[in-house]
Homo-oligomer: A and B are copies of this chain.
Amino acid sequence: MNILIIGAAGMVGRKLTAALLQRGTMRGEAITSMTLVDIVAPDVLEGSSIPVAALAADISRPEAAQELIVTRPDVVFHLAAIVSGEAELDFEKGYAINLDGTRYLYEAIRQASSGGAYCPRLVFTSSIAVFGAPFPDKISDEFFETPRTSYGTQKAICELLLADYSRRGFLDGVGIRLPTICIRPGRPNKAASGFFSSILREPLVGKEAVLPVEESARHWHASPRAAVSFLLHAAEMDTAVLGNRRNLNMPGLSATVGEQIEALRRVAGERAVALIRREPDPMIIDMVEGWPKNFDASRAEALGFAAETSFDEIIQIHIEDELGGDLPQ
């Protein structure tokens, strides 16, 4: 079992790599080699018994994907993308990487397919950004895609291509629309959605965090651990049941900021909650208003995908996976 991870240096990519190395198997077979790719070569953990190669590649070059496919990976995780804000600022770069880069990958696999002799599982990370307001209370599995960003447009197009290349037998694709990942580890960043994580992550370690929206703001969340479980399940599931509908809303937790804060209070006490500073930001309030708030992800749930059911659980996962299992005293 030979596995290729494109976009392996990102937060989810690193956690996915660690999970695969720990399991050592995929679809009941031993993992015999892994290739980690990103725009800069990803770090390789020492001491793994599985051979791991790390490569730097610019997927917006047509030849890059051909080179990555030479070893005929059995499973390809395609996580690479430039983020929403950058794709909005740099129209050409967004299309070059998020659309053309993905299409070159599909094409390289098609050209290697030799009439179906080679047909790898391809797990593609899409995004809830494929949807654009106005929304129903819950976005169903059959709601239409009218993205309001170039990033969302690029993801929606790659979903369509994934389904067509799968239907034609060139690859065996599963597209998963990830919820916002919470609690995202690391430092505060400038992403407009960053506060959903930072209002929990920072107070948990005694630091201040800024809340730019009202407590009534609702959003759709899943933990990094859930994201990795989605990717692994998408790689292992039986795709015959998907028919031609290869792209799935992932399960998640719909919660208001107020509910996030109540969970923080239960887990870490009043002292942590007091570290949240309210600084309403009209621009962020407006952006968040346009984002999906809730989904009916019945189809993915029926197919065995599962996410957290409370924010207490999401916070607990962060404490276990990022803080060594205990809150600092």
Contact residues of A with B, CB < 8 Å?
Answer: 91, 132, 141-148, 150, 153, 156-157, 160-161, 163-164, 167-168, 244-245
Contact B146 A168 (CB under 8 A): no
Contact A145 B145 (CB under 8 A): yes
Contact B160 A153 (CB under 8 A): yes
Contact A91 B142 (CB under 8 A): no
* Across-interface contacts of A144 in B (CB, < 8 A): 141-145
Contact A153 B161 (CB under 8 A): yes
- Given A142-B143, A143-B142, A161-B157, A150 contacting B132 (CB threshold 8 A): no
Q: Which residue of B lies closest to A246 (CB)?
A: B146
Q: Closest CB of chain B to A144's CB: distance in Å?
A: 5
9 contacts between A and B (CB under 8 A): A141-B144, A142-B144, A147-B164, A148-B244, A150-B168, A153-B160, A153-B161, A153-B163, A156-B160
Q: Which of B142, B157, B168 is A160 in contact with, Cβ under 8 Å?
A: B157
Question: How distant is the Cα of A144 from the Cα of B246 in the complex, in angstroms?
Answer: 13
Q: Which of B145, B148, B161, B168 is A167 in contact with, Cβ under 8 Å?
A: B148
* Across-interface contacts of A157 in B (CB, < 8 A): 157, 160-161
Q: Which of B141, B148, B164 is A153 in contact with, Cβ under 8 Å?
A: B164
8 smallest A-B Cβ distances: which pairs? Answer: A153-B164, A142-B144, A157-B157, A144-B144, A153-B160, A146-B245, A156-B160, A157-B160
Q: Which of B141, B160, B168 is A147 in contact with, Cβ under 8 Å?
A: B160
Given A145-B145, A150-B168; 5 other pairs, CB 8 A cutoff: A141-B144, A143-B144, A147-B160, A147-B164, A153-B160
Q: Determine which residue in A142, A147, A150, A164 has the highest number of CB atoms from chain B within 10 A of its CB, and name it.
A: A164
Q: Which residue of B lies closest to A132 (CB)?
A: B244
Q: Which of B132, B153, B168, B245 is A91 in contact with, Cβ under 8 Å?
A: B168
Contact A146 B161 (CB under 8 A): no
Contact B244 A146 (CB under 8 A): yes
Q: Which residue of B lies closest to A247 (CB)?
A: B146
Q: Closest CB of chain B to A172's CB: distance in Å?
A: 17
* Across-interface contacts of A146 in B (CB, < 8 A): 163, 244-245
Q: Closest CB of chain B to A216's CB: distance in Å?
A: 25
Q: Closest CB of chain B to A140's CB: distance in Å?
A: 9
Question: How distant is the Cα of A167 from the Cα of B148 in the complex, in angstroms?
Answer: 8
Q: Closest CB of chain B to A81's CB: distance in Å?
A: 16
Question: How distant is the Cα of A150 from the Cα of B156 in the complex, in angstroms?
Answer: 15
Question: How distant is the Cα of A156 from the Cα of B91 in the complex, in angstroms?
Answer: 20
Q: Closest CB of chain B to A247's CB: distance in Å?
A: 8
Q: Which residue of B lies closest to A135 (CB)?
A: B142
- Given A132-B244, A244-B132, A145 contacting B160 (CB threshold 8 A): yes
* Across-interface contacts of A168 in B (CB, < 8 A): 91, 150
* Across-interface contacts of A142 in B (CB, < 8 A): 143-144
Q: Closest CB of chain B to A257's CB: distance in Å?
A: 26
* Across-interface contacts of A143 in B (CB, < 8 A): 142, 144
